[in-house]
Amino acid sequence: MSNEWPLWEVFVRGQHGLAHRHVGSLHAPDVKLALNNARDVYTRRNEGVSIWVVKSTDITASAPGDKEPLFEPSNAKVYRHPSFFDIPDEVGHM
């Protein structure tokens, strides 16, 4: 049986209230040690206040071939972006 430690993906939430963000990966034998390692490897510079670890094999990713059907439609919805709307200068910052 292979003794290579499984790979984990690490997500860290920073100080500023933003959502957890993928910061990288690491190896660990189990989930508790993965959390310990994540703290030691990815928050050495005070980067985070909360950590998630997920076994890499437990992540389901969209296939690159699906990129167009999945993401292209949202490209057409330009009205979701603030720059779609012209606001007169007199109104001031919005």
Partner 1 sequence: MATGKHDQTLFELSLRMGDNALILGQRISAWCGHAPVLEEDIALANVALDLIGQASLWLGFAGEIEGEGRTADNLAFLRADREFRNCLLVEQPNGDFGHTLMRQFLFDAWHLPMLKALTLSSDERVAAIAAKSAKEATYHLERSEDFVIRLGDGSDESHRRMQDALDVLWPFAGELTCADEIDVALADKGLGPDLGAIGAEYKEYMERMLKKATLTADWQAPIRKGGKVGDHSEALGHLLPEMQWLQRSHPGAVW
Partner 2 sequence: MYAQMVKSTGEGVKSLDEMEPQERAFQERINADVKIEPKDWMPEGYRKTLVRQISQHAHSEIVGQLPEGNWITRAPTLERKMILLAKVQDEAGHGLYLYCAAETLGVSRDEMTEQLLSGKAKYSSIFNYPTLTWADIGAIGWLVDGAAIMNQVPLQRCSYGPYSRAMIRICKEESFHQRQGYDIMMKLVKGTPEQKEMAQDAINRWWWPSLMMFGPSDTDSVHSAQSMAWGIKQNSNDELRQKFVDQTVPQADYLGLKVPDPDLRWNEERGSYDFGEVDWNEFYEVLKGNGPCNAERMAARRKAWDDGAWFREGLMAHARKKETRIMAAE
Can residue 45 be called a binding residue for partner 2 (CB under 8 A)? Answer: yes
6-35 footprint of partner 1 as x/- string (CB under 8 A): --------------------xxxxx-xx--
Q: How far is the CB of 54 from partner 1 (least distance, A)?
A: 17
Query: How far apart (Å, rounded) are the C-alpha atoms in residues 42 and 45?
Result: 8
Strand pairing category for 21-27 and 7-13: antiparallel
Beta bridge partners of 24: 10
* 30 near partner 2, judged by CB under 8 A: yes
Examine residue 51 and tell whether it contacts partner 2 (CB under 8 A). no
What the block records as the tokens of 72 is 């292209």
